[in-house]
């Protein structure tokens, strides 16, 4: 389990620039990223209530999703879907709420929920929204566009860094959108 790439963007853009490293700041998020802060930064959530806590400080996607999308004919590169951390070998979508991801030697991110894919994904590439938002046998939505988290312990994160998962004490609660 490892970090494949790291990305950030100072403005509210859909895609983020791939960088050689990012610095995570406890209680804030990715240094220099538009979504960093103790309170919400996503524009739709700011309009609802700018004082609510930011449970979306860090966006993580599994590289296996990019592989799956490539097999369907999409061209999606690291950072294209707005993630801050692209992992490989970590089943992000199957983690329970409160799971901790130890990224590299110092940083720790607590998983808060699933990213809810939005219309911007469809605007990025037609058909992509349907590819990252599926339904299960019961007709329930299956969100595949990654997970969101908050920074518990800061530190620098680089491609190639190890990822270690620490599960919370049970019973485990499944992820829902945040």
* Helix (H) / strand (E) containing 46: helix 43-48
Query: What does the pLDDT look like over 13-52, one tens digit per residue?
Result: 999 999 999 999 999 999 999 999 999 887 777 788 888 9
Q: Residue 162 is encoded by which pair of tokens?
A: 């190890």
- pLDDT, residue 134, reads 86
CA nearest 85: which of 3, 14, 12, 148? 3
CA-to-CA distance for 76 and 78, rounded, in angstroms?
Answer: 7
Q: What sign does the CA torsion over 10, 101, 125, 129 have? A: negative
Distance CA 98, CA 48 (A): 25
Mean pLDDT of 7-13: 95
Looking at residue 17, its pLDDT comes to 97
73-106: b or e for each residue (b if 16 or more CB lie within 10 Å)? Answer: ebebebbbbbbbbbbeebebbebebebbbbbbee
Dump pLDDT digits (tens) for 126-178.
Answer: 999 999 998 889 988 889 999 999 999 999 999 999 999 999 998 999 899 88
pLDDT 10s digits, 83-137 = 999 999 999 999 999 999 999 999 999 999 999 888 889 999 999 999 999 888 9
Entry pTM = 0.94
Q: How confident is the model at residue 77 (pLDDT cuts 50, 70, 90)?
A: very high
């Amino acid at each position: 389990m490892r970090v494949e790439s790291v990305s950030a963007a100072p403005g509210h853009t859909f895609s983020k620039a791939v960088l050689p490293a990012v610095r995570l700041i406890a209680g804030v998020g990715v240094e220099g990223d538009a979504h960093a802060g103790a309170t919400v930064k996503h524009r739709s959530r700011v309009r609802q209530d700018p004082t609510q806590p930011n449970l979306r400080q860090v966006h993580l996607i599994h590289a296996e999703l990019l592989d799956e999308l490539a097999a369907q004919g999409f061209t999606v590169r690291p950072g294209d879907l707005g993630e801050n951390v692209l992992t490989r070998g970590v089943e992000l979508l199957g983690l329970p709420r409160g799971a901790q991801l130890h990224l590299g030697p110092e940083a720790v991110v607590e998983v808060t929920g699933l990213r809810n894919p939005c219309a911007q994904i469809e605007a990025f590439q037609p058909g992509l929204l349907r590819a990252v938002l599926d339904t299960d046998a019961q007709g329930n939505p299956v969100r595949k566009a990654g997970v969101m988290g908050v920074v518990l312990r800061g530190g620098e994160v680089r491609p190639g860094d190890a990822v270690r998962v620490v599960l919370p004490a049970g019973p485990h609660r499944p992820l829902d959108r945040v």
